[in-house]
């Protein structure tokens, strides 16, 4: 595989959770996963935790050099890409972890991109209960 796309999403209420969907270069789903979080986890935290799940999967993919990581949270994508400051202390901690994980992936071309909700495969499947 030369390229993969990892979609991530997170939801805070009423049952906090994060999900990822991994697609190969043909767009075929090769993996889906979901993690549940403690009550009180916010939507933004769940989005960050979904991004962390995506980065953990990216680290495992030894023979893949090009990875697009796609999410529908403008806040998270823009904070990670340095366009917004991260002000909330709990989000700062998650942001630092993401930045550290990205540095560990320096041998790969990793792009973190924003899409509208209706184009986020992880969000669509999470909403439909298909993950």
Each residue's pLDDT tens digit, 5-41: 999 999 988 899 999 999 999 999 999 999 999 999 9
- 53-83: per-residue pLDDT in tens? 999 999 999 889 999 999 999 999 999 999 9
Domains in the chain: ranges and CATH? 3-127 (3.30.420.10)
The answer to whether residues 31 and 22 touch, using CB atoms and an 8 Å cutoff, is yes
**Which residues are paired to 67 by β-bridges?**
4, 110
Q: Are 95 and 86 in contact (CB under 8 A)?
A: yes
Per DSSP bridges, beta strands 109-114 and 66-71 are: parallel
> Do residues 90 and 98 lie in contact, with contact meaning Cβ atoms separated by under 8 Å?
no
């Amino acid at each position: 595989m030369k390229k993969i796309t990892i979609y991530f999403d997170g939801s805070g209420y009423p049952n906090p959770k994060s999900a990822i969907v991994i697609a190969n270069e043909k767009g075929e789903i090769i993996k889906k996963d979901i993690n549940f979080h403690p009550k009180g986890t916010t939507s933004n935290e769940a989005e960050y935790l979904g991004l962390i799940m995506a980065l953990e999967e990216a680290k495992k993919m030894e023979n893949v050099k090009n990875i697009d990581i796609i999410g529908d949270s403008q806040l998270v994508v823009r904070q990670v890409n340095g366009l917004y400051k991260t002000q909330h202390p709990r989000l700062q901690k998650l942001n630092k972890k993401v930045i550290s994980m990205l540095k560990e992936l320096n041998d790969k071309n990793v792009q973190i991109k924003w899409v509208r909700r209706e184009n986020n495969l992880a969000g669509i499947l999470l909403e439909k209960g298909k993950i």
